Amino acid sequence: MTPRQTVLQSNEEPVTRLFSHLEFDGKQLSHQPGSVLGSIALVAGTTIGAGILALPAVTVSSGVVPSTVLMIGAWVYALVAGLLIAEATVNTMRLIGRANVNILAMVENSLGCFGARIAGGAYLFLQYSLLIAYIAKGGEILGSAIAKVLGVQNVLPGWVGAATFTLLFGGIMYLGRKRFIEKLNSAFVAIVMVSFLGLLLVAAGQVKSTQFLLQNWSTLGSAISVIFVALFYHNVVPVVVNQLEGDRLKIRQSLVIGSVIPLIMFLAWNAVILGSTSPEMIQKTLNGQAIFDPLQILSAGGAGEWLALLVSVFSEFAIVTSFIGLMYGLLDFFQEISLLTQSKSSRRLPLYSIILLPSMSFGALNPSIFFTALDYAGTFSVSILGGIIPALMTWKQREQQQLSNGINQPFVPGGKLTLIMMIGVALTTIVKEILSRCGL
């Protein structure tokens, strides 16, 4: 039985809090709750990933000011969705009396088996889409690095980079212990942060103030799905709730601060890239004469080999940190729904194979799939998991609590109007993408 304690919040309503961090030292139980700082780092680290590489490519047609406004608006939407998931997590923990609750368990508890299947399908589509995108882009960058080291003039085939990336980092996760992977990932995150700061400092000299005058608000709609992907961290919200034991104030602080840090990075990155892009390149992109690659914009900016090196290091390790997080998410998902475990190496190989082989195959067959995969993931999976599902879960739970005269402490104000707006934005994004794909 999970220990419980009834406490009083500032509004003097009794709340049953689930203590999930009790340790027994041989003599007595000690309470070791998670820290807000650690939860902030978890949210920020999950958000900062390879999605940042695609942002300027989808915002180049609109300009710095319109895309900045859109990213801030998308951040508010993502924050509301995160708070709704946190509210649903606390309610589910209270109802089932268990501290460790994942998103699929919450959906099944609130919306039944049918809702859980939809959420599970959207989750798998999201994870595999992102994995394919990261293997394709990470393999491309790694292949270019291998070609330079070997002195090869021609670019290596796409499948070489994709296969090398998958075998290298997939092999590290397969052979390495969890503690080693955690330390390695922390080192990779540090490399991402340092290289990003260096990138901004060096690239700032290429920014042209006249580029900030470009504004085309009519093209913003095409950027929404990729921005949603870049700001998605909602799969770790139940972990944050568990670590902070349902403390509403600490959860809000963690989600707000933890998501603001990546937002600032995204805004700075977007401004630097778009500010360094020539009007000729923007016009070629709009006319379909060239594919806009933000990494090439910086590398070809004339700042020398150091900038090109920073671009490669930052982009590759941003992808690797995202790859590790996605792998852990898919491993946990398949272990939960199957009899496969990580305890025996003979059973781990099939598990890794069904995750890596399909993703590597798609990435090798179509190396340019990076932006397409992110677009589909943001339009469908993130809209469902980060918009529709949280709103429906919260709606159902609040109605059940009102009928049973239970405790109801909303994490987000606005009542049903807020929930309707969340669902409306997600459905609009999905319908718009479907019409666009149909040429309408």
How do the domains of the chain map onto residue ranges? Answer: 4-437
Tell whether pTM > 0.85: no
pLDDT along the chain (440 residues), means of 10: 43 46 56 72 77 79 88 93 90 73 78 84 82 83 78 67 87 82 80 84 74 80 82 83 83 91 89 77 62 61 63 83 79 65 59 84 72 68 84 88 68 89 89 74
CB hemisphere CA count around 14 (13 angstroms): 5
Class of residue 13 by CB neighbours under 10 A (exposed 0-12, middle 13-18, buried 19+): exposed
N- to C-terminal Cα separation, the chain: 56
What pLDDT, on a 0 to 100 scale, did the predictor assign at position 51? 73
CATH annotation of 4-437: 1.20.1740.10
The DSSP code for 409 is -
CA distances in angstroms from 112 to 19, 78, 81, 368, 396, listed in the order given: 27, 24, 20, 39, 11
Q: Confirm if 423 and 388 have CB atoms less than 8 A apart.
A: yes
Structure token digits, residue 135? 């293997």
SS3 111: helix
What is the distance between the alpha carbons of residues 344 and 353, in angstroms, rounded to a whole number?
Answer: 15
Residues 420, 426: contact at Cβ < 8 Å?
no
pLDDT at 429: 82
What pLDDT, on a 0 to 100 scale, did the predictor assign at position 137? Answer: 82
